[in-house]
Amino acid sequence: MEEMLGFFVLVLTMVGLVGVTVWLCCFIVESLTKTRQRLKDPRYDALSKENKRLKGFLAEAEEENSRLREIYCSERIRHKTEAGRNAA
C-alpha cells in the first residue's frame, strides 16, 4: 500500500512538472508572437521616432536644469559670503 502511494505521488509530481513546463513554453511562444506582431505594426515606427524625439527633449531639459542649478547655487554662495562680510 505504501509503495503504491509513493508511486502515485511520484506520478503526480511528474505530471505537475510536465504541466508547468508546457505552460512556460506556451507563455514564451505567445510572448514572442506578440512581440513579432508589435514590431510589424506600422504605428511602432512612429511611436519609436516620437520616443527618440522626447528622449532628446528630456536630455536638453536636464542640461538646462543642471546649468540653472549651478547658477542658483553660485548666487546663494555669493549672497552668504556678502552677508557674512556685512555682519562682520
pTM for this entry: 0.42
In a shared domain, residues 73 and 34: no
Are 36 and 47 in the same domain?
no
The total number of structural domains that make up the chain? 2
**Predicted local confidence at residue 10, as pLDDT:** 95
Say if residue 5 is in the same domain as residue 24.
yes
Based on the domain organization, do 15 and 36 belong to the same domain? yes
Determine the residue type at 13: T
- What distance in Å separates the CA atoms of residue 61 and residue 37, rounded to the nearest whole number? 34
Judged against a pLDDT cut of 80, whether residue 76 lies above it is answered with no
80 and 61 in a single domain? The answer is: yes
* Inter-residue contact 80 to 87 (CB < 8 Å): no
Residue-number span of the structural domain to which 31 is assigned? 1-40
Domain co-membership, 33 together with 58: no
